A and B are shown apart, each in its own frame.
Chain A
Amino acid sequence: MKVKVLCRNPDDYVRETKRDLQRVPRNYDPALHPFEVPREYTRALNATKLERVFAKPFIASLDGHRDGVNCIAKHPKSLSTVLSGACDGEVKIWNLTKRECSRTIQAHDGFVRGLCVRFCGTSFFTVGDDKTVKQWSMESPGYGEKVEPIRTILGKTVFTGIDHHMNDAIFATCGQQVDIWDEQRSAPMRSYAWGVDSISSIKFNPIETHILSSCGTDRSIVLYDKRKPTPLKKIILEMRTNTLCWNPMEAFIFTAANENFNLYTYDMRYMDGPVKVHMDHVSAVLDVDYSPTGKEFVSASFDKSIRIFPVQSGHSREVYHTKRMQHVTCVRWSADNKYVLCGSDEMNIRIWKANASEKLGLLSPRERAAQNYNQKLKEKFHHHPQIKRIARHRHLPRSIYSQIKEQQIMREARRKKDVNRRKHSKPGSVPIPSEKKKHVLAVVE
């Protein structure tokens, strides 16, 4: 007779001294872990609820400007430095860690229209309503010295925007035409004009550094190559585009913030229709900025809110608003992918977390592991109605809420009319336009 009976030595399962960690033997046999799916579902539900509980995105507000904030610029080298220009011609340099203004310059008479920092971070450029481009040093002047720009260029017309080349001493301005400037010269190297209207914003492509794009008041988006004497391409949309932003990771993708409440992500190579239409704002979109990962972007709108969109998705994943925040004119995503800064009409710059429920500061490895696990679970079960409902829920101010309702009704009426028209006309005579094609009027080479 042969016999073996289970007999465990407790020493193998109990810790030796009180200073040791408890022993936790594991066995991953699925038979020992029943109800795997329902338990994971419950965990995912709890994680989603906790995410909403901890969603407190607002960090701080920087006040000090005496008029509405018109533009913000990030520092390319320092995470804690941010520059902002106001409607009274004042430029402020902020220290984000201390949450205070480190320097104030009276840069222009009238609005500061545009602001950009040189790629080396030692100086920055401003353009204003007084038809000048000024270059300023980032360093504050010594004791007793006067605050003076390094260089001043007088232009013939008002400049409305400026952007600096990624790694050359070249910058571009826009106004009635697009000018490309060498930093050493006082006359533009090159000027582009296509049509007569004024151009509101200009951006250099951060990867294909010769490419620029601009958007103008004639509802157009124009692409340029700075090596070529003529512009490349022009598309005309239904309504005016306010600004645009290049994707920092994908060279040919840019997103345009449009006056018709939508954002359009375009592929520079195929301009006959947008890659994606991003809808959710209920008023004109005024500014847009990409996250450094190129996976998401943030948009500021006239409807007093900012929204965060994944590039792949047509709807926003997050909306930020406060009672005091008015029309948001400019927005930037910080270079460490953690914060979003927005400047608004009521003279404040607000700092938000890019991920509303993220815990700031160092995480212990166990915390990190738990967070990753919860994130994966949320991803796994995000289609379930219960979880989806909780994850999607956002509180909205009355004005936005009612406007969304109103626009839904309008859209529904338009759709109904379309369906009826289609029903009562010859089959195929009333085409079904896709949302992507609907808003593009023309493409001009």
Chain B
Amino acid sequence: MGESKMAAVKKAKNKVKRYYEEQDEHQTPGGNVDGTDNQTESPKDVPQLPTEQKSRRKRVKGDLKKSGSNFISGAKDPFPGSVSVPENRLLKYERARKSKLGRKYSPYVQHHLKTQENDVQTALGQAARHDILLPEEEGFLEGDEGQDTCTITQEDIAEMVDITSASKHFNLNLNQFGPYRINYARNGRHLLLAGQRGHLASLEWQSKKLICEMNVMETVNDVKWLHTHTMYAAAQRRWLYIYDSQGVELHCIKKFNDVLRMEFLPYHFLLATCSSTGFLQYLDVSVGKEIAATCVKSGRLNVMCQNPNNAVIHLGHHNGTVSLWSPSMKEPLVKMLCHRGAVRALSVDKTGMYMASSGLDRKLTIFDMRTYRPLTSCLLPLGAGSLCHSQKGLLAAGTGDIVQVYKDTSVSPPRSPYMCLQVKGPIHGLQFCPFEDILGIGHGGGFTSMIVPGAGEANFDAMECNPYETKKQRQEWEVKALLEKIQPELITLDPTQLGEVDAITMEQKHKEKVERLGFDPHEKTPFVPRHKLKGRSSSANLLKRKKKVAHEEQREQIRKSIKVKEKQKEQKKSREGIRSPAEQSALDRFKK
């Protein structure tokens, strides 16, 4: 027994190197973009959660005890315990930061919170561990030495890759009814094409099977799939129409007139439209009702995109502003001036953190949507007429008849593109195909499907949307999705707000309670010194003891306020930045 314990201690000391630790060393240089020293990241301080480590140590003991009886050969497990997960992978799954449990909570609450936190940590670890099991790896494109990836043509790529992937690059010559708007269904199986001169077609683009095709004999401004590939909405010259997959007209919604652009919010079952009359309207497609109609009061609206993270609609205006809208508000949530000229195109990435916008001033700017400040900006020769973010964060910009795809636009200004393609006509619609390395381009000469390695999410979640779903699965998913349809009132800038404590209401409630009762039930009771014997409860002594406690409290408060002040100072310093004496001007000394 004692021996086995000793052995356990030894084992813990000279730790066996794990396969992922090696990988980590490879990864860190890439991950350490912010310039921290690589040397410090030695394998021994591969970050681990302290709790994880502790529990592992415990398990090591337990396992060894067991192994003594289990293995007949007497061999010992060289990797006892469960595999620990590196912290950067855990970070990916972290929802909220760990709360600090102060003394202000009762022991009962403290215990409750602690157990809850433990549960969350376990779930987090398990989810992170599941990453190893993911079957697919995402695509990439690397040039030879000195070769720029944007010089690599589609034909070269198609030659290099397998037949199925190569067949995903194709052109459709449709030069009669163009230019074309396009839309991929949510699981990336189906494609919708809408020529401005009335041509509507839906197809299963991978097998190139045409599902329906028709000409509606009037202008089509935009087209969007609804929640499944059985229905789609088309914004025609005057009204909004809804067709089924066979092209049968299901509804003609005359309340929605002169629609120019549409966005479908899949979790809310809302179709947001903006019209040339300057109205932003929301249609609930599950009940067929108009949820909200807002007059934006800035003229014709033809630039629109949605933030997939919080379902807020972004509208671009002629005066260079971008406004953010939710159906429950009659005023914009945010209004930001982005360009000197009119806004031409907008796109928000999947995380909802970055917005790309291009304007008539030919600038392409990336904005941080947490601070509403520009991050990077560049001047494109013709200016981008359409923009699109991929699932993995690539940005495609259509300038004239050239599509440029950029990488890491939020970190460095988009100088040289990642990929480039010239198509046979001015670009009218762009969209990355979900869960595929494909960019669909609708243009004056038809439709082009372009291979962009590394654009799509490799591992889909079948409970969310499944490219290989059967009819039965789709129907079941539809029922489930309808049941958990999010109410339009819940569209806010911060979607996690609903899970947080409503401090304002809480304060108000407390105030009302105090008013009603005539006293504060949660008030701290004043300190009453204990009665002591042998003359130690003289009034002088009592006063002394009272003061002691009062002083301790005061000190605590002072300590806190000092901390806050120091923090503010540091923040101020970091905001100003430390400038070299050469840069400082003589007048700086008068700055506060």
Flag if B437 contacts A6 (CB, 8 Å): yes
Instruction: Identify which of residues 41-80 in chain A touch chain B, using a CB-to-CB cut-off of 8 Å.
Output: 41-43, 46
Chain B residues with CB below 8 A from A36, complex form: 95, 495-496
Tell me, yes or no, whether A414 is within 8 Å of chain B by CB.
no
CB contacts under 8 Å to A, within B434-457, are 435-437, 451, 453, 456-457
**Contact at B459–A27, with CB atoms within 8 Å?**
yes
The reply to whether the CB of B162 lies closer than 8 angstroms to some CB of chain A is: yes
Contact A25–B460 (Cβ < 8 Å): yes
Question: B473: which A residues are within 8 A, CB to CB?
Answer: 22
Stretch from A9-17, A196-204, A336-344, A355-363 forming part of the interface with B: A9-17
Q: Which residue in chain A gives the minimum CB-CB distance to B156?
A: A1
| B487 located at the interface, meaning its Cβ lies under 8 Å from any Cβ of chain A in the complex | yes
Closest chain A residue to B130, Cβ basis: A28
Instruction: List 19 A-B pairs, Cβ < 8 Å.
Output: A1-B147, A2-B140, A4-B140, A5-B139, A5-B451, A5-B453, A6-B136, A7-B162, A10-B468, A14-B468, A28-B130, A29-B93, A34-B308, A39-B486, A41-B490, A41-B499, A46-B484, A415-B517, A423-B518
Contacts of B310 in A (CB 8 A): 35
A6 near B458 (CB under 8 angstroms)?
Answer: yes
* Least CB distance, A27 to chain B, in whole angstroms: 4
For residue B503, CB closer than 8 A to chain A, the reply is no
Q: How far is the CA of A35 from the CA of B461 in the complex (A)?
A: 15
Interface residues as binary, B507-526 with A (CB distance below 8 Å gives 1, 0 otherwise): 00000000001110000000
Whether A7 pairs with B470 at a CB distance below 8 angstroms is no
Question: How far, in whole Å, are A154 and B502 apart by their CA atoms in the complex?
Answer: 67
A4–B460 touching, CB < 8 Å:
no
CA distance A6 to B432 in the complex (A): 13
Complex: how many Å from CA A38 to CA B498? Answer: 7
Q: Is the CB of A34 within 8 A of B519?
A: no
| Closest partner residue, chain B, to A37 (CB atom) | B499
B138 part of interface (Cβ distance < 8 Å): yes
Residue of B nearest to A13 (CB): B468
User: Does the CB pair A6–B456 fall under 8 Å?
Assistant: yes
Q: Does B92 contact A (CB under 8 A)?
A: yes
Q: How far is the CB of A30 from chain B (nearest CB, A)?
A: 6
A252 to chain B, nearest CB (A): 17
A26 contacts the other chain (Cβ, under 8 Å)? yes
User: What would 11 more interface pairs be, CB under 8 Å, given A6-B435, A29-B461, A35-B486?
Assistant: A1-B144, A3-B141, A5-B437, A6-B138, A6-B458, A24-B462, A25-B459, A29-B93, A38-B498, A46-B483, A384-B498
**Any chain A CB within 8 A of the CB of B142?**
yes
Beyond A25-B135, A30-B95, whether A1 also contacts B464 by CB under 8 A is no
Partner of B519, one of A29, A38, A432: A432
| Contact call B134/A27, Cβ cutoff below 8 A | yes
Interface size grouping (class) on chain A:
35 or more
Q: Which 3 A-B pairs have the closest CB atoms?
A: A419-B518, A37-B499, A13-B468
Q: How far is the CB of B299 from chain A (nearest CB, A)?
A: 32
A-facing mask of B151-180, CB < 8 A → 1, else 0?
010001100111011001000000000000
CA gap between A1 and B518 in the complex, in Å: 78
Chain A residues closer than 8 Å to B142, beta-carbon distance: 1-3
CA distance A31 to B464 in the complex (A): 11
Across the two chains, which residue of chain B brings its CB closest to A30? B93
CB distance from B189 to the nearest CB of A (A): 12
Indicate which residue in B147, B309, B457, B462 contacts A26 across the interface (CB closer than 8 Å): B462
Q: Return chain B residues, CB-CB under 8 Å to A14.
A: 468
Contact residues in B for A19 (Cβ distance below 8 Å): none
In the complex, what residues of B have CB within 8 A of residue A25's CB? Answer: 135, 459-462
> What residues on A are CB-neighbors of B467 within 8 Å?
8, 13
Main SS class of interface, B: loop
Bound-state Cα–Cα, A367 to B444, Å: 54
Determine if B463 and A39 form an interchain contact, defined as CB atoms under 8 angstroms apart. Answer: no
| Contact partners of B127 in chain A: CB under 8 A | 28
A6 touches B139 (CB 8 A): yes
A7, A13, A27: the one contacting B461 at CB < 8 Å is A27
Task: Write out the residue numbers on chain B whose beta carbons fall within 8 Å of the beta carbon of A422.
Answer: 518
Q: How far is the CA of A422 from the CA of B517 in the complex (A)?
A: 12
Q: Which residues of A contact B460 (CB under 8 A)?
A: 25, 27, 32
How far, in whole Å, are A32 and B461 apart by their CA atoms in the complex?
A: 7
- The answer on a CB contact under 8 Å between B161 and A3 is yes
**B residues in contact with A6, CB < 8 Å:** 136, 138-139, 165, 435-437, 453, 456, 458
**Alpha-carbon separation in the docked complex, A32 to B131 (Å):** 13
Check A33 for interface membership: any CB of B closer than 8 A: yes
In the assembled complex, B350 has its CB within 8 A of some CB on chain A: yes
CB of A323 closer than 8 Å to a CB of B: no
Minimum Cβ distance to chain B for residue A20 (Å): 12
Question: What are the residues of chain A within 8 A of B141 when measuring CB–CB?
Answer: 1-4
Nearest Cβ on chain B to A88's Cβ, whole angstroms: 48
Residues of B within 8 A of A1 (CB): 141-144, 147, 152, 156, 160
Q: Which residues of B contact A384 (CB under 8 A)?
A: 498
Say whether B463 contacts A26, CB under 8 Å.
yes
- The reply to whether the CB of B137 lies closer than 8 angstroms to some CB of chain A is yes
B495 touches A34 (CB 8 A): yes
The answer to whether the Cβ of A405 comes within 8 Å of any Cβ in the partner chain is: no
* Residue A426 lies at the interface, judged by CB distance under 8 Å to chain B: no
Q: Assuming the A-B contacts A5-B453, A12-B135, are A35 and B140 also in contact, with contact meaning beta carbons closer than 8 angstroms in the complex?
A: no
Chain A 80-96 interface mask (CB, 8 Å, partner B; 1/0):
00000000000000000
- Contact check, A5 vs B161: say whether CB atoms are below 8 A apart: yes
Q: Does A23 contact B (CB under 8 A)?
A: yes
Chain A residues lying within 8 Å of B157, measured Cβ to Cβ, are 3, 5
| Nearest B-chain residue to A22, judged by Cβ | B473
A25 to B458, CA, bound (A): 12
Complex Cα gap A252–B39 (Å): 61
* Contacts known (A13-B468, A14-B468, A22-B473); A29 close to B462, Cβ less than 8 A: no
Chain B proximity of A362: nearest CB distance (Å): 24
> A60 → chain B, closest Cβ, in Å?
33
A7-B164 in contact given A1-B142, A35-B311 (Cβ < 8 Å): yes
B490 touching A30, Cβ below 8 Å: no
Interface string of B242-265 (1 = CB under 8 A from A): 000000000000000000000000
Nearest residue, chain A, Cβ from B465:
A32
A31–B457 Cα distance when bound, in Å, is: 10
B143 CB → nearest A CB, Å: 6
Minimum CB–CB distance from B548 to chain A (whole Å) comes to 24
A31 to B139, CA, bound (A): 18
B495 touches A3 (CB 8 A): no
Give the chain B neighbours of A31 by CB distance below 8 A.
350-351
Which residues of chain B come closer than 8 Å to A35, judged between CB atoms? 267, 310-311, 486, 495
| Chain B residue contacts of A42, Cβ below 8 A | 484-487
- CB neighbours of B92 from chain A (8 A): 29-30
Chain B residue nearest to A418 in the complex (CB): B518
Residues in chain B near residue A39, CB distance under 8 A: 267, 484, 486
Chain A residues, Cβ within 8 Å of B311: 35
In the complex the two chains form, what is the Cα distance from A200 to B423 in whole Å? 95
Specify which chain A residues have a CB less than 8 angstroms from the CB of B140 in the assembled complex: 2-4
Residues of A within 8 A of B308 (CB): 34
List of A residues within 8 angstroms of B164 by Cβ: 7
Residues of A within 8 A of B138 (CB): 6
- Scoring B residues 320 to 364 as 1 if CB is less than 8 Å from chain A, else 0, what string do you get? 000000000000000000000000000000110000000000000
Query: Which of A30, A37, A419 makes the CB contact (< 8 A) with B498?
Result: A37
- Which residues on B sit within 8 Å (CB–CB) of A30? 92-93, 95
Query: What residue in chain A is nearest B151 (Cβ atoms)?
Result: A1
Measured in the bound complex, the distance between the Cα atoms of B518 and A432 in whole Å is: 10
Are A28 and B457 interface neighbours, CB within 8 A? no
Instruction: Please give, as numbers and ranges, the residues of chain B lying within 8 Å of A415 by CB-CB distance.
Output: 517
Q: Are B462 and A32 in contact (CB under 8 A)?
A: no
Contacts of B485 in A (CB 8 A): 42
Bound CA span A46–B437, Å: 38
Q: Bound state CA distance, A22 and B484, in angstroms?
A: 23
Cβ-defined contact, B495 with A38, below 8 A: yes
In the complex, which of the residues B134, B164, B168, B498 has the most CB atoms of chain A within 10 Å of its own CB atom?
Answer: B498
Q: Type the 1/0 row for A409-442, where 1 means its CB is closer than 8 Å to any CB of B.
A: 0000001001100110000000010000000000
